[in-house]
Structure 1
């Protein structure tokens, strides 16, 4: 139990610290792909996936960890990931982003987190658990991409690495936009950790390494999985409600560690501040949290569980879920950002014509 608490909190704190300081926001990254044609955060995600893929398959070959890809519940993954993609736009952050932004003092993220945890618990063990069970009955027996083609996973890992390297180098060679220089108030390590802007690719490397570290730490406690947010969040709420210690596992302390690590990073960088949203934003955040909890539970993972971990495991579930949640994010972005802006432009034009 003590090992589970310590290693879970440490791994989570590292992840929360890195994501807060690096502003590693997949919601913003997916949204920017559509709104501004900026793919830099998506490339950063590919870097994290590639690093984790190399790490976990090396650990498997070394006999340190084991995992099973299981079956591909394609209907639940597609529907759930699409709803999840819509939810993260409404909530203002994905599952992990909501945890780390809550550590910064954003009340809206706490509201979204409440909706997310509640719906995840309802879907996992509550009255809506039947929906998940019935939809997961529609599946294919093979989830592993390498097993589907009957070749070694290392071919896909190598392909991912080459593609990722190509896009990363191309992005780095682009002319850099001039950014206003921040006045340096600290020196040495303190400046690098808490003041200097972190490049998304550097942050992604750290996230990938932490994701690799999570596997042996988690499996040492009997939990054969890597990073995960949705089920641990639901388990935390279940434990708080009924006190059943069977819900406590390594993943629960991981998500608590994310909150802790983000708080430390935000305080040390002077970015911690309680910020309360208006009533409309609060309702939208809660609705987004509900959609996230429903979608992630149905799909078997969120932007981390599916988008980072299952992709690195080279499963159909991970890559299909990633593509569909991006589509869901783009759909929500159209209705939340593009359409209102277009309507305002038309209204302004009509008023000008009338005058």
Structure 2
């Protein structure tokens, strides 16, 4: 039990600290792919996936642990991931982003987190559990693993994928640099690097990939053979609080609590922590978004981390198809939340302009 608590909290704290300081937000990254045609965070995500994938398959080949991806509930993954993508735009952050931004003191993220935990619990063990279970049985394909489906060794996917990511990084680092003015540092040494210096997204992604890789053996040592996960542990917290059943306490619970703690430490150290109350509209959107996140992640069997970072790294259909439809969901919501209101505002402005004589 002591190992579970310490390793879970430390792994989560490291992830929360790195994500907060690196401002690693997949919601913003997916949104910017559509609105700003900026793929930088998405490329960083691919780097984190590649690092984790190499490490995890090496451990499995060495016999450190065994993992089976099982069957592939394609219908629930597609629909759930799409709903989740819509939800994270309304909530203002994905599952991990909501936890780490709550650690910054953002009350809107607390509201989204409440909706997310509540609906995840309802979907997993509440009145909607039978619906969730039956829906996940619709259109199930026998093999979730891409290498098993194709009939090849996993390294024939991992190595080319890592090579593609390496080429993308080469193209990114050889682009002309844009000079960004920086203020004179107030701190020196390690304090400057940790709490003041602007973090490069690819350096941040490299650290996230390493943490995601380490999560596998740390978690497997407690009997939970999986890597980073947010949705089920978030639901487990509420399930434990309402039932007192200690079986809901696992490595993942301490992971998500660690994310909150690590983000708080990072935000306090960089003087970014402060309580920020959202307006009524933002608060309502956050709660609705959190509920959609809970529904979507429960149906899809994972969130932006569970599917988008972890299940992609072990080369499953669930991970990559889930990631695709998650992105499509964020683009759909971005159109209605950002693009369409601007178009309407522009149209109204043109209508109010006096006609030329």
Determine the C-alpha separation between the residues in 2 that align with 1:174 and 1:347.
Answer: 40
Determine the C-alpha separation between the residues in 1 that align with 2:342 and 2:168.
Answer: 31
Over residues 5-36 of structure 1, what are the superposed CA-to-partner deviations in whole Å (9 max), with x where a residue is unaligned? Answer: 11000000000000000001000000000000
Q: How far did 1:353 drift?
A: 3.7
Over residues 307-331 of structure 1, what are the superposed CA-to-partner deviations in whole Å (9 max), with x where a residue is unaligned? Answer: 0000001000000000000000000
Find the counterpart in structure 2 of residue 198 from structure 1.
199
Determine the C-alpha separation between the residues in 2 that align with 1:294 and 1:4.
Answer: 28
Runs of 4+ in 1 over 4 A off after TM superposition: none
Find the counterpart in structure 2 of residue 120 from structure 1.
120
Over residues 211-270 of structure 1, what are the superposed CA-to-partner deviations in whole Å (9 max), with x where a residue is unaligned? Answer: 010001101011111100000000001111121101000000000000000000000011
Over residues 245-299 of structure 1, what are the superposed CA-to-partner deviations in whole Å (9 max), with x where a residue is unaligned? Answer: 0100000000000000000000001110110001110000000000000000100
Q: How far did 1:354 drift?
A: 4.8
Determine the C-alpha separation between the residues in 2 that align with 1:147 and 1:22.
Answer: 36
Find the counterpart in structure 1 of residue 45 from structure 2.
45
Find the counterpart in structure 2 of residue 331 from structure 1.
332
Give the unaligned 5+ runs of structure 2: none
Give the unaligned 5+ runs of structure 1: none
Alignment of 1:202-281 (within 5 A): 202-281=203-282
Find the counterpart in structure 2 of residue 154 from structure 1.
155
Find the counterpart in structure 2 of residue 3 from structure 1.
3
Q: How far did 1:176 drift?
A: 2.5
Find the counterpart in structure 2 of residue 312 from structure 1.
313
Alignment of 1:123-134 (within 5 A): 123-134=123-134
Matched, 1:163 2:155: no
Find the counterpart in structure 2 of residue 99 from structure 1.
99
Find the counterpart in structure 2 of residue 298 from structure 1.
299
Determine the C-alpha separation between the residues in 2 that align with 1:122 and 1:325.
Answer: 21
Q: How far did 1:166 drift?
A: 1.3
Determine the C-alpha separation between the residues in 2 that align with 1:170 and 1:135.
Answer: 42
Matched, 1:18 2:12: no
Cα RMSD (Å)? 0.8
Q: Secondary structure at the match of 1:117?
A: helix
